[in-house]
Amino acid sequence: MASLDREVRRLMGRAIHQYGLIQGEETIVVAVSGGKDSMLLLWLLRERLQRLPIHYELIAVHVDPGFDGESADRLQEYLIREGFRHEIIRTDHGLQAHGPENRENPCFLCARLRRTTLFKAAQALGCRKIAFGHNKDDFIETFLINICYGGQVAGMLPRQDFFGGEVTIIRPLALVSSETVERLGRRLNVPVFPNCCPSVRTNSRQEIRSLLEALYRKNSKVRGNVFHAMSRVKLDYLPPPLDQPREASNLLQFLNAERDGS
């Protein structure tokens, strides 16, 4: 086994155990977009069953946004050929999001529609867990997108419950970089099916990604620093909300000073 294979399996295994993502004896919907991350995740989750004394069922679910049915057809052919249980859901989510009647950000609306469709599909299939292929760089980019464009410090979680735990989203590739995913996918010949969305190169995520890539070229530690910063938030060193009453702000400063002994 190549060192790259071992590294990705180690990081995915660490995420699964650290965040309690997979317990076994359960059926997991794998949200397959056709991109490198979700395709490799599907492959790795099945391969994991051959190495460990654990059992779970996988169902690949692809929500076709409606731009180009040919891509979904080819993805389905691959899933059939490889023996993956799957569902292909044809929608017009992408067309709606880019239509003249939509006043929202196209990516925001499309993502919301796709997420709703996946939740309904999982429920219909009797699954309470959905696996997404988001990688370490997706976590970092989402964190900065929320800061720069959403005005809040927020990001993604490796494990996130919805509807009181009726549905749980897991992200087993949370500790694996995008570059590592791409390299392993190429080495294993995992196919990728193109994204025909017209906004794929012009959205806010691409802008943040370009900014980060420039920073990474200057300092290789930036990626790890930003990722670790998400779980090392020092609230005492952040200003209170502007709409917070002055009395509460003064009290917070006093309590902080008392605690620090100043």
Q: In which order are the strands placed within the sheet that holds 129-131?
A: 86-90, 57-64, 27-31, 129-131, 167-170, 159-162
Q: What is the pLDDT of residues 113-168, one digit of tens each?
A: 999 999 999 999 999 999 999 999 999 999 999 999 889 999 999 999 999 989 99
Among 175, 38, 165, smallest CA distance to 114 is for 38
Q: What is the pLDDT of residues 235-247, one digit of tens each?
A: 899 888 887 665 5
Q: Please, what sign has the CA dihedral across residues 191, 209, 16, 221?
A: positive
pLDDT score for 107? 84
Among 67, 78, 107, smallest CA distance to 201 is for 107
Q: What does the mean pLDDT of the chain come to?
A: 90
pLDDT score for 252? 58
Under the banding of pLDDT at 50, 70 and 90, the label for residue 100 is: confident
Q: Would residue 64 be called left, alpha or beta, if left means φ above 0 and alpha means ψ between -120 and 50 degrees?
A: beta
Strands 167-170 vs 159-162: parallel, antiparallel or unpaired = antiparallel
- CATH superfamily, domain 3-230, is HUPs (3.40.50.620)
List the beta bridge partners of residue 171.
none
pLDDT score for 262? 45
The share of the chain scoring above pLDDT 90, in percent, equals 70
pLDDT score for 34? 95
Query: Where do the domains of the chain lie?
Result: 3-230, 232-262
Tokens of 186: 């190429």
Of 98 and 262, more confident: 98
